Structure 1
Amino acid sequence: MAETTVVQVRDVPAEAVETLKARAARKGQSLTAYLRELIVEEASLPELDEVMARLAEDEPINYTAEDLREFRADGHR
């Protein structure tokens, strides 16, 4: 298993914690497991600036107007 780190979050509103506990319970998970899943999922998604930086590194694709008409005629969008 990958190395892990303990994370502590202070000053979370009680109402938010109760909501998260209820969501965890509906999934049959502990609050800890539910929050871990949320954090790991969030960390796996790139932010917009990261996506834009990757796109800026890509070579541009030079489509012609005719290429675009053909894509649309074939049902592509």
Structure 2
Amino acid sequence: MSTLQIPDVPYATEQTLKARAEREGKSLTAYVRDLLNEEAASPTLDEVMDKIATDEPIVYDPDFVRETMREGHW
């Protein structure tokens, strides 16, 4: 695991994050680490769009879609 240092964090931001961490019963380090992990786990819009662009098109039959919807399998 590596260490990440973030210089020039505004005082108000630090205080807000400390207060939120305290409310969750976490250290500031643990709280910010969780935020970073959540951010890294969520793809960006560009990443999603790149994935969609490389996916094979889905061919569908409109009659099959209508029948499936009628049967409540959607």
Q: TM-score, normalised by structure 2?
A: 0.81
Q: Which residue of 2 aligns with 1:16?
A: 13
1:1-77 alignment to 2 at 5 Å?
A: 4-73=1-70, 74=72, 76=74
Moved over 4 A (4+): none
Specify every segment of 5 or more residues in structure 2 that has no aligned partner in the other structure, as ranges. Answer: none
Residues 11-42 of structure 1: CA distance to partner in whole angstroms, max 9, x if unpaired? Answer: 21111111110110011100001001111111
Aligned pair count reads 73
Specify every segment of 5 or more residues in structure 1 that has no aligned partner in the other structure, as ranges. Answer: none
Q: Distance in 2 between matches of 1:70 and 1:43?
A: 40
Q: 1:63 to 1:6 in 2, by over 3 A?
A: same
The amino acid that maps onto 1:39 is L
CA RMSD of aligned residues (A): 1.6
Q: TM-score, normalised by structure 1?
A: 0.79
Q: Distance in 1 between matches of 2:69 and 2:15?
A: 49
